[in-house]
A and B are shown apart, each in its own frame.
Chain A
């Protein structure tokens, strides 16, 4: 049997894939190649001339302690977001998996935050933690803790992590719940008869069986924290105070569009591009490993 579709005419297949190719070229290949080219240039302060400098921008970046600092911060930020949102989503999914009455309503509510744009998520959290009128600030103040993320870098970092993680919980929850519900019920029952309580069943049966999903979400969450949290950072802290929350993707914007160092900024985005490509490769290679029941 023929597994592939065969076309009689030669132009039809090209016509069919053309829209996809055009979109990829216009919105990805072209800007990406522009970034690659830009990263090899140095522009003068007024944007009147540029000079081809080979890899000087990259060499400079890796000698720059601000950049390396931002790199470390981003890794800390990404893994914190991934860990926080995934562990929270896993707990919720484990509980939702046991709910029978009103399960659909419960699930629908939990999925809502995913429909919220990152910037809006950031705005919500910044309102709640506003140093002068935030409700959480007020509550913390009543408990004797003075919250001010505009002055305290640690608090600012905490806030962007929480705002980003919150945004991601719904997505993770959905995948975790689907994975848990695809585990045959009889497996859980067999474990119960074998004498395992709910906690033990969770750690020795459920968790190992959903590990492919966990790995997939790990990559997705890290990619999200690396690249899609710009809006949250911009709304909550603008990278401050004193660059305490300036993660790589924010630094690209700051250096390029505020600092007007187009070459250096382009070099940074090329590095980010390499990171996302390698994460995707890992993702594709290992996500194929599936558990058979």
Chain B
């Protein structure tokens, strides 16, 4: 059990700074996810918490201790690697017992703990096998077992599901979540998959280019993305972005095609200004009443069963726009749909800085 403090953490490789001052307080027992595109520095940050990378500047503490100068072994952490990193020359049992043996635990205690953990993860039947005789999902469980059996105060996960097929990934995701709830151990999970991030984390950190874009719960990130980057990253299919102007009165948004959309709060301070407007595909609907509508020319329709995705172009400007409609719809390519959106679901961003404008 421990909380983790990141205090102005920087990382550079030579001249090249990859993390630009990360601050975060992870509470005891919390499951947090660091998410971002590849190369954003998320794995580096996790490896710095683990002690596998040095900390260029700033401070990381686990529990009450500053761990900057501690070896990984002294930090009381366990890590699950992307490729599982099971010791190929040891049986499953020995893989799990390795850390305990090093700690010098008595033999019967080791056996008790390994058996118990194996039971939790349902790998009790494989203890005598070697890792190469196991399937991907089973290896994944062994890797988790090796982490759990040591009863660490922090779990670190480095994209642990990315080597599994789609179906197994969903199943293991649920199991990791259940397991974390049951054990209540502080966990930090790194992924590039926003669905994994949304489903697993109590709180998320969205990293981009070594900067924190936003911190918050999955719902906060979804409902009120702080930047255009977060807005585009969270949610699937991703948010539609269109260029628009705020009218002179500050009460409506004017698109290039002459269409306009009323907004609930007046933005008179921003009047006559260009901005980027964001609309989630699931918030757009077909409006038969034709009040406050905009034309959408359909190009491609994707039927997913539960939903129908309609890709097309919007207005005269021809910007691409995706709409997600519930259930099965019969829509033809080339059709023109009248679209509407509830003004409270509109996100406004500054086109230069990408920062959110409306509150």
Contacts and interface: CB of A to CB of B under 8 A. Distances in A.
Interface of A: 184, 186-187, 189-197, 200, 204-205, 208-209, 291-293
Nearest to B81: A186
Q: Is the interface of A mostly helix, strand, loop or mixed?
A: helix
Nearest to B97: A194
A291 B102 contact: no
B89 A208 contact: yes
Interface of B: 50-52, 71-73, 77-79, 81-83, 85, 87-89, 98-99, 102-103, 132, 146, 150
B102 to A, nearest CB: 4
B73 A194 contact: yes
Contacts of A292: 88, 132
Of the candidates A186, A194, A195, the one having the most CB atoms from chain B within 10 angstroms of its own CB is A194
Contacts of B146: 190, 194
Contacts of A191: 87, 98
Contacts of A187: 85, 87-88
Contacts of A208: 89
A190 B81 contact: yes
B88 A192 contact: no
B50 A193 contact: yes
Given A184-B83, A189-B72, A195-B99, A291 B88 contact: yes
Contact of B89 (A193, A196, A197, A291): A291
A193 B72 contact: yes
Nearest to B52: A189
Contact of B72 (A192, A205, A293): A192
A189 B81 contact: yes
Contacts of A184: 83, 85
List the 4 closest A-B pairs by CB distance, nearest first: A194-B99, A186-B85, A195-B73, A190-B85
Contact of B79 (A193, A195, A205): A193
Contacts of B83: 184, 186
Nearest to A192: B72
A195 B103 contact: yes
Given A186-B82, A292-B88, 12 more contacts: A186-B81, A186-B83, A189-B72, A190-B81, A191-B87, A191-B98, A193-B73, A194-B98, A195-B73, A196-B102, A205-B87, A209-B88
Contacts of A189: 50, 52, 72, 79, 81, 85
A292 B83 CA distance: 13
9 contacts: A186-B82, A189-B79, A192-B51, A192-B52, A192-B72, A205-B87, A208-B89, A209-B88, A291-B89
